[in-house]
């Protein structure tokens, strides 16, 4: 059983004995909802904000899902009686109008609710046969836009492991790595997003929202027991956070596998240029063998891996993204969730990696 709904899983979490430690923030108490309105300064292309986060602020984000004049709005202000405003259509219109310089015409309040950020996460992402993911496992400040992507990453991390265990291709202990890999990442994400929320509330600045760490491209699980890296240097002195800004000069097992464009497909048939991302899929591993020549790759392919494609990296994009020297032999196993599972030297090491995942190799 998987669960990805925050409210329903309140009950499920309790029944499982999973905790949901954290806090509810009263200092970011807002009224939010969908509204239809028009005004001369309000185009439906831009996200409009009036005021600052240290005082009163309103936000109007266009959404044509409701209607052409539809907006997703929120109102925030320490001096506002948010609870009272949320109960009254008239007060909502009045507050919005008071913050916008030009005249606006209200057409409809579609729905409205009060909202306080909950900053919480479970102590474990699974119990027995039940797995929690997305908002059911972690909730956080909306100030950094990390919620949806984190939930999707949970699902990708869990999906391929569940499939292998269900097909009896992997031992059920593989499922334990869902919690061990995701827990530190979500814990670090909560720290990052809470610090951005604190800064927004304290200074009114939204500068932290542009932090490139929020692109999520540097998130890693170097520490995982099911990744294998024979090139990485010992971990001593390395930063321990799993939430990092992408560093293109460093790549190891547990990192997100990068893309590379313009790869010439020369075997089994010639075709157009390909990208690595066009090869990666969530239902299989992809093994990349970087070899100085096809002859160098042959022994590895004969012993460990079925060869599906030969690609020529004419412009060096893959060599550059995967930090491989032109005369170097380096093998990467890319997991179904797009994480680099292994960076190794030869066929025995490839088997060593896959023996961490599968029953039989
Ligand atoms: C105001 C606001 C702004 C946000 N902005 C962003 C943003 O900019 N970027 C971002 O990444 N994230 C944002 N988020 C967070 C993001 O929306 C959530 O993290 C994400 O939707 C969580 O997805 P989920 O699948 O875990 O849960 P949900 O999206 O809540 O999905 C759970 C589903 O389960 C259904 N369900 C509930 N009970 C049952 C039941 N008993 N049986 C069957 N189905 C049930 C629900 O109807 C729902 O469809 C925002 C959230 C809010 C509230």
pLDDT of residue 236: 63
Centre of ligand 1 to C-alpha 189, Å, is 17
Residue 237 pLDDT > 70, yes or no?
no
pLDDT at 2 over 60: no
Pocket residues: Cβ below 6 A from ligand 1: 4-6, 8, 32, 134-136, 142, 145-149, 151
Q: Is the pLDDT of residue 6 over 60?
A: no
Q: What is the pLDDT of residue 242?
A: 95
Are residue 234 and residue 342 in the same domain, yes or no? yes
Residue after which a domain boundary falls, among 194, 215, 236: 215
Q: How many angstroms is it from 334 CA to the middle of ligand 1? A: 29
DSSP codes joined into one string, 123-163:
S-SEETTEEE-GGGTEE--GGG--HHHHHHHHHHHHHHHHH
Tell how far the Cα of 141 is from the centroid of ligand 1, in angstroms: 13
Helix (H, G, I), strand (E, B) or coil at 92: helix
The mean per-residue pLDDT over the stretch 54-78 comes to 93
Q: Whole-number mean pLDDT of the chain?
A: 91
Instruction: Compute the distance from residue 64 Cα to the ligand 1 centre, in Å.
Output: 19
Residues 151, 200: Cα–Cα separation, whole Å: 24
Residue 8 confidence (pLDDT) = 58
ipTM attached to this prediction: 0.96
Phi and psi (nearest 5°) for 6?
A: -60, -50
pLDDT the model gives residue 9: 64
pLDDT band at 239; cut points 50, 70, 90: low
pLDDT tens, residue by residue, 263-308: 988 878 777 789 999 999 999 999 999 999 888 888 877 766 777 8
> Where are any strands of DSSP class E within the chain?
2-3, 20-24, 30-38, 48-51, 57-62, 70-76, 105-115, 118-122, 126-127, 130-132, 138-139, 228-229, 263-267, 273-274, 286-290, 310-312, 330-334, 340-344
- Is 110 a residue whose pLDDT tops 70? yes
The reply to whether 275 and 333 lie within a common domain is yes
Residue range(s) defining the domain that contains residue 327: 228-355
Lowest-pLDDT range of 80-84, 118-122, 153-157, 291-295: 291-295
Find the mean pLDDT for residues 10-16: 87
Q: What are phi and psi of 256, to 5 degrees?
A: -70, 130
Condensed to tens digits (0 to 9), the pLDDT of residues 218-233 reads 999 999 999 999 998 8
Does residue 221 lie in a domain region?
A: no
Q: What is the CATH number of the domain that holds 285?
A: 3.40.30.120
Comparison of pLDDT for 267 and 191, the residue scoring more: 191
Which of 116, 147, 192 has the most ligand 1 atoms within 8 A of CB, as the residue to mutate? Answer: 147
Mean per-residue pLDDT, 104-115: 96
Domain-ending residue, one of 115, 139, 165 = 115
- For the CA of 5, the closest atom of ligand 1 is 32
Query: How many folded domains does the chain comprise?
Result: 3
Same domain, 68 and 165: no
- Looking at residue 254, its pLDDT comes to 97
């Amino acid at each position: 059983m998987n669960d990805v709904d925050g409210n329903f899983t309140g009950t499920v979490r309790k029944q499982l004995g999973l905790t949901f430690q954290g806090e509810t923030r009263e200092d970011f108490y807002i009224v939010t909802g969908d509204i239809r309105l028009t005004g001369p300064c309000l185009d439906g292309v831009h996200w409009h904000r009036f005021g600052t986060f240290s005082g009163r602020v309103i936000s109007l984000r266009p959404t044509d899902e409701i209607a052409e004049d539809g907006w997703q709005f929120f109102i925030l202000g320490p001096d506002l009686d948010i609870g009272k405003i949320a109960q009254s259509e008239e007060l909502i219109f009045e507050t919005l109008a008071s913050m916008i310089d030009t005249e606006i015409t209200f057409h409809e309040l579609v729905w409205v609710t009060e909202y306080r950020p909950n900053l919480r996460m479970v102590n474990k992402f699974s119990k027995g046969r039940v797995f929690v993911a997305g908002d059911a496992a972690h909730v956080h400040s909306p100030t950094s836009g990390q919620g949806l992507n984190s939930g999707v990453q949970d699902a990708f991390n869990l999906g391929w492991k569940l499939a292998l265990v269900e097909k009896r291709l992997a031992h059920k202990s593989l499922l334990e790595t869902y919690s061990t890999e995701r827990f530190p990442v979500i814990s670090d994400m909560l720290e990052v997003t809470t610090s951005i929320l604190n800064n927004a509330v304290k200074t009114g600045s939204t500068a932290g929202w542009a932090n490139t760490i929020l692109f999520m491209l540097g998130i890693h699980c170097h520490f995982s027991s099911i990744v294998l890296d024979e090139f990485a240097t010992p971990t001593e002195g390395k930063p321990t956070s799993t939430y990092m800004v992408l560093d293109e000069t460093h790549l190891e097992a547990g990192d997100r596998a990068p893309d590379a464009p313009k790869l010439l497909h020369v075997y089994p048939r010639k075709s157009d240029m390909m990208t690595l991302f066009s090869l990666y899929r969530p239902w299989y591993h992809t093994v990349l063998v970087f070899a100085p020549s096809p002859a160098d790759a042959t022994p590895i392919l004969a012993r460990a891996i079925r060869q599906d494609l030969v690609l020529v990296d004419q412009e060096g994009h893959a060599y550059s993204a995967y930090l491989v020297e032109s005369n170097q032999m380096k093998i990467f196993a890319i997991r179904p969730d797009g994480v680099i599972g292994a960076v190794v030297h030869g066929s025995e090491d490839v088997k060593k990696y896959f023996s961490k995942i599968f029953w039989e190799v």
